[in-house]
Chains A and B, each alone.
Chain A
Amino acid sequence: EVRLVESGGGLIQPGGSLRLSCAASGFNVSSNYMNWVRQAPGKGLDWVSVIFSGGTTLYADSVKGRFTISRDNSKNTLYLQMNSLRAEDTAVYYCAREKAIISGVVPFWGQGTLVTVSS
C-alpha cells in the first residue's frame, strides 16, 4: 500500500528554521518525482518544490534560496529544509508523489503537516 506520512511541523519564530520529513512506503522515493505543496490557512494550493528521480531540484520563486528539498533513499524519506522562515510561510505542507503512466501522471498526497511562523 502506498503511504506518505509528513512530520516536523510546528510553531516557529520568524527567521527560524524547520525541517519537514515525509516518510514513504509502498514505493521508492528515488524512482518518482516527489513534490512539496503548501496551503496557507483559508487559501488555495501552492506548489513549493520538486526533486526528480535523477536528483535535480526546482523551487517556487517564493522559497528559492531559503528552502532545500532532499531525500534519503536508505530511509525512503523526503525532506524540506526551511530557513529564514516568514509569516507568509505559514501553511499546511503536503508531500506528493507523481507516478508517470502511459496516459499521464498519477499524483498521490500525504495528509500534511502544519507550519506556523509567528512570534
Chain B
Amino acid sequence: IQLTQSPSSLSASVGDRVTITCRASQGISSYLAWYQQKPGKAPKLLIYAASTLQSGVSSRFSGSGSGTDFTLTISSLQPEDFATYYCQQLNNFPRTFGGGTKVGIQ
C-alpha cells in the first residue's frame, strides 16, 4: 500500500492552521497513525486509529479520515510544532509510510 503525503513541505507562521493530507493507494479503514519527528529524535506518535489523540499530545493536533483519505490538522501552529510529519498505515504488511511533510517557519 502506497501512502502519498502532501505537501512535501510548507512554510507557515505561528498561529496558522496547518493541514497535511495522506492518501492510501487502497482502503485501509482507520488503520493510520501520524507522527512528528524533530532532527536527531525518534518519531513521536501524535494520532492513532486515524483520529485518536495519543495521551499527552496537545489537543491542537487532530486527525480525520477513513478508507483512503486522511488529514492531520494543527489548529494553531506553535513554535515547537516546526518539524517533519509522517503518516503510517497499519492495515497491511509491509507497513508503509508517507514521504513526510516538513513544516518550516515562514
Contact = CB atoms under 8 A, between A and B. Distances in A.
Mutual binders A and B: yes
Interface of A: 35, 37, 44-47, 50, 58, 60, 94, 98, 101, 103-112
Given A47-B94, A58-B93, A110 B42 contact: yes
A107 B89 CA distance: 11
Q: For the complex, would chain B's binding face be called helix, strand, loop or mixed by DSSP majority? A: loop
Contacts, number: 58
Contacts of A94: 42-43
B49 A103 contact: yes
Contacts of A45: 43, 86, 88, 97, 100
Contacts of A35: 95
Interface in B1-58: 29-31, 33, 42-43, 45, 48-50, 52
